[in-house]
Amino acid sequence: MSEVAVAEEGPDTPEAVELARQFDEYVVLLYPPEYRPKVDVAVLSAADTRFFVARRGGRALGCMALVRTGPDKGELKRCFVTQEARGQGVGFALLSTAEAVARAQKMLRIQLETGNRNIAALRLYRGNGFRERGPFGGYPADGVSVFLEKTL
């Protein structure tokens, strides 16, 4: 199996749009409509956002966005790995790249919100030093969202 390569790409490319479609299909299986994330391409295309795509052999297998939310902090959004690529290090490769970029941009911490039923995501983040925290950035404490943070 070849190595996973992660690069910054536009969130509006056909492959990124397809990853977003698959993400939307995945969360339909986990959560009722009121708990599904709404992130559009305009948000992911903003100047303060870096969007990464993971590939193996040229094929897009996952994505993640890093949004600067303050002078020394950022938020991870839209992390997704395709069904076929789960458990193969794609999420870790995306997370490692986002963390390296955050450090290079002098961010001291990164935060994220994910759902309590997304076991793979929770395992990835908790296994890589993220700790639970309270709601941030306007997210409600709804009993479904899990809020995590990591000091870099």
Domains of the chain, residue spans: 5-108
Instruction: Inform me whether the pLDDT recorded for 38 exceeds 90.
Output: no
Report the pLDDT averaged over residues 103-108.
98
Which candidate, 54, 56, 119, 65, places its Cα nearest to that of 91?
Answer: 54
pLDDT at 1: 64
Task: Count other C-beta atoms under 10 Å from residue 122's C-beta.
Answer: 17
pTM of the complete model: 0.92
Cα(17)–Cα(122) distance, integer angstroms: 24
Question: CATH says 5-108 is which class?
Answer: alpha beta
pLDDT tens digits, one per residue of 135-152: 999 999 998 999 999 999
Report the pLDDT averaged over residues 41-59.
92
Residue 27: C-alpha distances to residues 40, 58, 79, 123, 128 (Å)? 15, 26, 12, 17, 23
Which element (helix H / strand E) includes 68? strand 59-70
Provide the angle, in degrees to the nearest 10, between the axes of the packed helices 90-104 and 119-127. Answer: 50
Instruction: Inform me whether the pLDDT recorded for 47 exceeds 70.
Output: yes
Residue 102: C-alpha distances to residues 1, 43, 54, 120, 137 (Å)? 29, 18, 17, 22, 18
What confidence tier does 34 reach under pLDDT thresholds 50, 70, 90? confident
